[in-house]
Structures are given as C-alpha cells and as structure tokens.
Amino acid sequence: MPVQLRPNNRALEYLIQHYQKSVPKVEETLLANCILDLQLSVCFGEFSKYLGNSEAASLVVDALLYQATGLEASSPSEEEILLGTQNARGIHKFQLGKRKMPHIATIESWMFGKEYGAIKFDNPMDSGNIFSVSSFAFATRVEAFWTVRYFLCGVAPTERDRQKLREDLAENDKQLTQMMENLSRPSTEQ
C-alpha cells in the first residue's frame, strides 16, 4: 500500500519534486577509498602492536576495508607503484612502496600524494600535487592513530597532543613553502 501524504504540504512537495539522489562521482569515491587506505595503514601498525601478530593485524585491516567499502584488498603492479596506486585497495601498496622506494621516509604520504595527483589532475608525477596534500596526509594518519589508540587502549589525545599536531603541521607547511620557493627560483649558477 503506497504511503498517503497529506495534501497542501508545500515543503514536502517541494522536496519530492526537487530532491535528486546524490550519487558520488567516481573520482570522489576513489579519493575517499585512498583516504581510507591511508587511515588503515596506521590501523595495521597499531593492531600489529596490540595483537603481537602482523598476519592477524593484516586480516583485521582487510576485513575493515571490505566492511567499509565492499572491496577486497588488492596489490598494485610495479608500474602502478611508480605511477599511482589509486586503483589498489588496502595497505599492501604501502608495504610494496617501502620496498621499492626505501629512501622516502613517509611513503604513505608520498603515495597518497601521487594518488591525489592522479585522481584530481591526471598527473601523479607532479611533485607539487604530491606535496600539496602532505599536511593532510600527516594529519589524517595522526587522527587515525589517536582513534585506534582510543579504541584499543582507552587513551584519548590530550590537548598537548593536539597542540603538537598543530605545531608539526605549521612547521611542515613552512618547510613545504620554502622548498617550493627554492624550486621555483631560477638558478643563478652558469
């Protein structure tokens, strides 16, 4: 039996006439999944410590990924590690990235920056795109750490923790600005 609406409810009639189901764009979903992978990378580390078993932690993280997205964890090819892992789900891409590029200290942020560049600008190799989201990636990982630590150990972040994050983000932004300015200056050497 269809639901009967009271007549002359102008607000409801307007909503029914003008409501369009919001369907996220492919790039929004892809970016959201990459952000989840970034958060799961922290979960893996904390679950490994808590459980004392990285295999069990990996299974928990894969289960969280599937529960959140309906997608199975996947592994990128060597080419994708270099050109952008935005189509790979889960944390294995970060582990492969660490092996492939051990000289990059914060591989998760670097790879997320490449994913962002590939999704938003179709350019995963532009260092400007990569660096532009480094503070976001750092803050996302810290917030994920705080959340996991709270759920596993009951320890919430303190105001000192939050202040430290703000200071670290400000320092990161300052260093990035200096680096980008240095890169954009013409060379004086001949």
* Residue 107 located in a structural domain: yes
pLDDT tens digits, one per residue of 59-80 = 999 999 999 999 999 999 999 9
Residue 30: CA count within 13 A, CB half-sphere:
17
**Position 1 pLDDT exceeds 60:** no
| pLDDT for the residue numbered 172 | 87
In a domain, 172, yes or no: yes
Which has the higher per-residue pLDDT, 145 or 24?
Answer: 145
Residue 143 lies in a domain: yes
The domain containing residue 35 runs over which residues?
23-79+89-182
Average pLDDT (50-56) is 95
Report yes or no on 64 lying in a domain.
yes
Pick the residue with more confidence: 1 or 12?
12
Averaged over 3-32, what is the pLDDT?
Answer: 76
Give the pLDDT score at 86.
96
Q: For residue 18, tell me if it sits in a domain.
A: no
Read off the pLDDT of each residue in 85-106 and give the average, rounded to a whole number.
94
Domain count, the chain: 1
21 pLDDT more than 70: no
Residue 120 lies in a domain: yes
Q: How far apart are CA 124 and CA 68, in angstroms?
A: 26
Tell me if 10 is assigned to some domain.
no
> How much is the pTM?
0.81
Rounded to 10°, the helix 92-100/107-121 angle is 110
> How is residue 88 written in tokens?
């790979």
Whether 167 maps to a domain, the answer reads yes
Give every CB contact of residue 126 below 8 A, 6+ residues apart in sequence: 117
